[in-house]
Amino acid sequence: MKDEFDVIVIGSGAAGLTCAVVAAQSGLDVLVAEKAAFYGGTTAFSLGAAWIVGNRHQRALGIDDDVNTGDVYLKNTLGNHYDSAKAQAYLHSGAEMVDYMETKTEVRWQGVPMPDYFPDVTGARAGRTMLVKPFDGRTLGPNLRQMRLPLPGFSVFGSMQVDLLESSNYKNTFRNWDGFSFTAGKLLRFWRDRLTHGRGAFLANGNALIAGCFRVSPKRLLRLALMPALDRGRLEQALTHVEGLVRELMRPERRLPVATGQA
């Protein structure tokens, strides 16, 4: 590992990896440092859905939306927690973020006509929530084994992941031939991947989102340092546990984004 980077991102969830992607695409040398034994943060546990007003997939579904309508919805649902500056920043940059990530990384979302969480509130629209398309984890090579596994509710046999939009196919396993062949194919692939990669390589939901962010391009992955020996993520230890990274990395021209999700 090289001993100097332009940007070190602390935390490997979707927020940290998005920051790393932008820096890497700007030509900077980037390292993602994670204090856990596996990367992915709580994003890897999640459904991986994103709530974005006016996203391209919503438009593809024929649903009209705009930031003003989204702002009305946030005001009506957040009440006293509404922060105008934060809401405007989120609303005005959300659709741009989707376009950027789907262009610069292998993250792929898909639109679904899912209603808003509070569909009867003024300003609500369908299609704002996007789900992540599955990802072939075999393309991650040895980094696949280092990704945090999903929660049990999103998988079977520990790492055989289930895409939410494919769940109905599993229900037909013993009802018709198509359902049986679908499930049999999934099982065969899973056990083959277990033998080859040590875990299931069909990635869905939050795991798919992390994998898509981590793979900046078809031939390029973000650089990662896993440091499970860290004592509660203290910054000084975070630097000294990375091979060759020492105090000069904290010079003013360096950047150290913190995306740990905790203070």
**243-249 average pLDDT score:** 44
Question: How far is Cα 188 from Cα 171, in angstroms, rounded to an integer?
Answer: 18
Q: Which of 132, 125, 133 is nearest to 54 (CA)?
A: 125
pLDDT at residue 235 in the model: 52
Structure tokens, 26: 């700007």
Parent domain of 31: 7-250
Q: Structural domain tally of the chain?
A: 1
- Residue 46: pLDDT over 70: yes
Q: Are 50 and 113 in contact (CB under 8 A)?
A: no
Residue 258 within any structural domain of the chain:
no
| Amino acid, single-letter form, for residue 227 | M
Residue 202 within any structural domain of the chain:
yes
Which has more pLDDT, 249 or 96? 96
Residue 37 within any structural domain of the chain:
yes
- Residue 247: pLDDT over 60: no
Q: Are 259 and 39 in contact (CB under 8 A)?
A: no
Structure tokens, 151: 């929660």
Residue 123 within any structural domain of the chain:
yes
Q: Which of 234, 214, 221 is nearest to 35 (CA)?
A: 234
* Mean of all residue pLDDT scores within the chain: 86
Residue 256 within any structural domain of the chain:
no
- What are the pLDDT digits (tens) for 106-147? 999 999 999 999 999 999 999 999 999 999 999 999 999 999
The CATH number of residue 17's host domain is 3.50.50.60
Q: Which of 156, 189, 165 is nearest to 109 (CA)?
A: 165
- What are the pLDDT digits (tens) for 179-225? 999 999 999 999 999 999 999 999 999 999 999 998 876 667 888 87
